[in-house]
Amino acid sequence: MTTRKPETLTELLKTLERSGDLRSLARECGLSVRELRRRLSIWRKELVDDQAQLLEAEAAVESRGKSKLRKEAARNNPVDREWPELSAAVTLAKSPLPTRGQPVMEVYTDGASRGNPGPASIGVVFKLKGGEELAQHFEAIGRTTNNVAEYRAVVAALEHCQRWQVKRVHLNMDSELIVRQLHGTYRVKSPDLRPLYQQVIFLSKGLDEFRVRHIKRALNGHADALANRALDAD
């Protein structure tokens, strides 16, 4: 019969406990056979406990890693992230901005179209510049293109600001085309976009300050989520 060789330290210790050479090993260590056997048993149990703790620690690290990945995925996917529920802009008769000083209304807008053209919607977030988010607006706008939806979101935002008599507006959006058109870098050639462009220019002329900035989509997540929310509800 072939004796199976121990493959782990635990198996080696267990083999030594049962070994016939334990007497000579005990003499070399200056211990009795019983004491050596007792110590080997203790070391084996401690080793098993250490291995169990290591496995638990590895499992905890893996769990935290998966949780972190889920949170990062949620941050990268603005639709899945839980955004705060703000006051609906249409329900606010007065400006949500502070009455003192000359506060700036920072606006984030986004337009969505599933199909381009296809079912479309807009999302708008109103925020105190350098402060908290104040209000939101989202709605389905029928069937149109993504660029039309982007302009419609800007128009809706400026109409609310006009109604609230806000005079300083900083607009943020992730559509590079619309931003460049509003900056005058690109000409507005599309007959579908030209009336909306002119409407934005008309509304912005009533402002003391109007700035337009292009931002990355990741920074426009709340407005994007609102636009998708409107599509999902339609």
Sequence ranges of the domains in the chain = 9-75, 87-233
Residue given tokens 């290591």 in the structure block: 54
The residues facing 171 across adjacent strands are 107, 212
- Cβ-count burial of 125 within 10 angstroms (0-12 exposed, 13-18 middle, 19+ buried)? buried
Q: In this predicted structure, what is the pLDDT of residue 184?
A: 96
Tens of pLDDT, residue by residue over 100-137, are: 999 999 999 999 999 999 999 999 999 999 999 999 99
pLDDT at 216: 96
Contact 87/124 with Cβ under 8 angstroms? no
Q: 87-233 maps to which CATH number?
A: 3.30.420.10
Tell which residue, 209, 198, 190, 188, has the closest CA to residue 154.
Answer: 198
Strand segments, DSSP code E, in the chain are: 87-88, 105-113, 118-128, 133-144, 168-173, 209-214
pLDDT computed for residue 128 by the predictor? 97
**Closest C-alpha to 139, from 30, 42, 33, 226:** 226
Q: At what angle do helices 146-163 and 221-233 cross, to 10 degrees?
A: 110
Q: Which residues of the chain have pLDDT under 50?
A: 1, 73-74
